[in-house]
Amino acid sequence: AHLQPQMDESSILRRADCRAKGGSPGFKVAILGAAGGIGQPLAMLMKMNPLVSVLHLYDVVNSPGVTADLSHMDTGAVVRGFLGQPQLESALTGMDLVIIPAGVPRKPGMTRDDLFNINAGIVKTLCEGVAKCCPNAIVNLISNPVNSTVPIAAEVFKKAGTYDPKRLLGVTTLDIVRANTFVAEVLGLDPREVNVPVVGGHSGVTILPLLSQVKPPSSFTPEETEYLTNRIQNGGTEVVEAKAGAGSATLSMAYAAVKFADACLRGLRGDAGVVECAFVASEVTELPFFATKVRLGRTGAEEVYQLGPLNEYERVGLEKAKEELAGSIQKGIAFIKK
């Protein structure tokens, strides 16, 4: 018989805590929906993130396999798997950051709103768990339609008496990632040098790229503006159609989710000047939620930035975005209040 190396839960967590005390700030991160198309590459990238000491992988299927697989990677984070509703509370207890990509993705011909009926209930259940087991955690909500699931989460937290708007962030980073890529192509630049603010929400016309604020400062012809705005707004559909029924963006989304989660962890650590776009509770417009640049700090989204100067094209886009967003936000709130 060969020796089976054994480490119980407490010694594993001691190891992670020790590492945290030894300089590297170990954060505890849970991924809910970790066995999915986004969840798996997201879990892998988080297992590689030096800011993570403990990684909890929760799903209603296949999380033991994903956990066993990732646990063999020789990176610092300790990975634990949790399967099904009875294990949700253990998955969430003690977490600093909870990333939620649970839910069904789009198929060709579907809008993000078509996902509402299934995903609204999933997000509600998972957020009730967060309110109960880790009410101080930062939540990164990926499940679509983000324009409605963030208001749903807010209502769940309000009901539970744990709502802190700074800690609830809808992930729109993929829109910025796409915008940087497509704008860099037009400008003939390396995408790593380009920064495009994308505001509003995360669906169709609510995705509003502010090309007048691109860094480095650039100007675009009306044709370029039209092409880029359309492509950024429909980037998700481009992938849904190419995948032809097999789902929506997963790999670029996992990359974007980790870019955003890493920014949240750097904020939690106390790094200065961490700024990303996110869909948050907001007073920037008359709507209760809106995506803009936010500054991430020890308590979450500590500062929500104003839109800055818009050109005429963007002002028209803003009005369209607000009209659609208002309905999606209301739909989310009504789902919990009904």
Residue with smallest beta-carbon separation from ligand NAI = 36
Phi and psi at residue 59, to the nearest 5°: -160, 170
Considering the candidates 2, 56, 72, 202, report the single residue annotated as catalytic.
202
Q: Which is nearer to ligand NAI, 16 or 207 (CB)?
A: 207
Q: Which is nearer to ligand NAI, 126 or 321 (CB)?
A: 126
Bond from prior residue into 145 cis (ω within 30 degrees of 0): yes
Known binding-site residues for substrate equal: 106, 112, 144, 178
Q: Which is nearer to ligand NAI, 16 or 171 (CB)?
A: 171
Tokens describing residue 34: 């970790």
Q: Is 109 helix (H, G, I), strand (E, B) or coil?
A: coil
**Using CA atoms, how far apart are residues 285 and 287, in angstroms rounded to an integer?**
5
Q: Which is nearer to ligand NAI, 37 or 81 (CB)?
A: 37
Binding site for ligand NAI (CB under 6 A): 32-33, 35-39, 59-61, 101-106, 115, 119, 122, 125-126, 142-144, 146, 171, 174, 202, 247-250, 253
Residue 120: CB minimum distance to ligand NAI, A: 11
Known binding-site residues equal: 33-39, 59, 106, 112, 119, 142-144, 178, 253
Known binding-site residues for NAD(+) equal: 33-39, 59, 119, 142-144, 253
**Using CA atoms, how far apart are residues 43 and 45, in angstroms rounded to an integer?**
6
CB-CB neighbours of 264 under 10 Å? 28
Phi and psi at residue 292, to the nearest 5°: -150, 180
* H or E element that contains 294: strand 289-297
Residue 31: CB minimum distance to ligand NAI, A: 9
Residue indicated by tokens 């707004």? 233
Reply yes or no on whether 72 is catalytic: no
Indicate which residues carry an active-site annotation. Answer: 202
